[in-house]
Amino acid sequence: MPQPPRALNPAASPLAAFGAALRERRVAARLSQRQLGGVIHVSGALIGKLEKAERRPDADLVRGLDLALEAGGTTLGRLLPAARGDPAVPARP
């Protein structure tokens, strides 16, 4: 049986807002983390870490997520300035 999803706090940071929006779109698309990961060639575990704001995606991953979730190619990226290459928000290694 799957674990219940961890509560997210989108107000905590831009990364948390990104993760919450990603989860919302993924659930609306009726995809599991594993299924979404398979579509964009990453692991379901990485999708989970993105949703919980434990990992910062690079710009290519954000574009792939937007396209896979039919978010117009830029919707999620607007929530995460570093994914657009904005130097004001340093990317995490």
- What does the pLDDT look like over 67-89, one tens digit per residue? 899 865 556 777 766 554 444 34
Tokens of 38: 């398979």
Could you give the residue ranges of the DSSP H alpha helices within the chain?
14-28, 33-40, 44-51, 59-68
Rounded Cα distance, 87 and 91, in Å: 8
pLDDT tens by residue, 35-74? 999 999 999 999 999 999 999 998 889 889 988 998 655 5
Q: What is the mean pLDDT of the chain?
A: 81
Furthest CA-CA distance within the chain:
42
Nearest to 25 by CA among 61, 70, 59: 70
pLDDT at 27: 92
Is residue 92 pLDDT above 50, yes or no? Answer: no
Question: Do the beta carbons of residue 63 and residue 89 sit within 8 Å?
Answer: no
